[in-house]
Amino acid sequence: MTVNFPKWTNQLPAIAALAVVGGGLTVVLAVWYFFSPEFTDVGYMPHQPIAYSHKLHAGLMGMDCRYCHVNVEVGPHATVPATEVCMNCHKTVRTDSPEIQKLAAAHDSGMPVHWKKVHLLPDYAFFNHAAHVRVGVGCVSCHGRVDQMEEVRQEKALSMAWCLECHRAPETALRPTDRVTDMAWTHDPDLAQRLRDEKQIAPPTHCSACHR
């Protein structure tokens, strides 16, 4: 018995191959986008145990970032302030606030406030805050306009590709070192290039720079 198939069935192998390739490409692109830091990390904003407004303190009041993040110029970690630092003001300021009362209770107990870290780097990536701040990379370059945030959120991807963009062209982020905490600083390309040339800034791009 002879079975005759329509001529269009001759195209089935090609159609099947295209479907497999197209499906695989779709999966690769979906993983590349939806699993990237730009999608998974940007916008991360954990709820903190005590409400703290950077918009009020760093923005409206103009407090310098380094008052709380004291190690940012001298060590790899910016550090979060101890409760004693907060209580320097809040022993007398807004003591009737429920949030300040939580802070005072932590201070009196001798136990630290368990702040939730916002900007999380993998353990295999090394980053030194001091090395960047000392050459004139402003806080806003990595953290965004923190002075306008009620609750801090991650603004930048902080991915390897994102870091390498800056390391290959550091003049895109440089400013005078006395303006590193100025969130409203307007980038000056000519000044930044001059700063790079004068300081001979040449960030490494080899693997061991960040993976040690």
Mean pLDDT for each consecutive 10-residue tract of the chain (212 residues)?
67 78 73 66 94 96 95 94 95 96 96 94 94 97 97 95 96 97 96 97 95 90
| pLDDT score at 1 | 57
Q: Residue 210 carries which side chain, given as an amino acid letter?
A: C
Backbone angles phi, psi at 186, to 5 degrees: -95, 125
**Model pLDDT, residue 204:** 96
Predicted local confidence at residue 15, as pLDDT: 78
List 174's β-bridge partners, or say none: 137
Residue 137, classed as helix, strand or coil, is strand
Give CA–CA dist 137/175, Å, rounded: 6
pTM of the model: 0.81
Q: Where are the domains of the chain?
A: 53-79+118-212, 81-114
For position 26, what pLDDT does the model report?
A: 73
Question: DSSP 3-state assignment of 118?
Answer: coil
CB 159 within 8 A of CB 35: no
**The pLDDT of residue 16:** 80
Cβ within 8 Å of residue 128, ≥6 positions away: 75, 76
Chain-centre distance of CA 70, in angstroms?
18
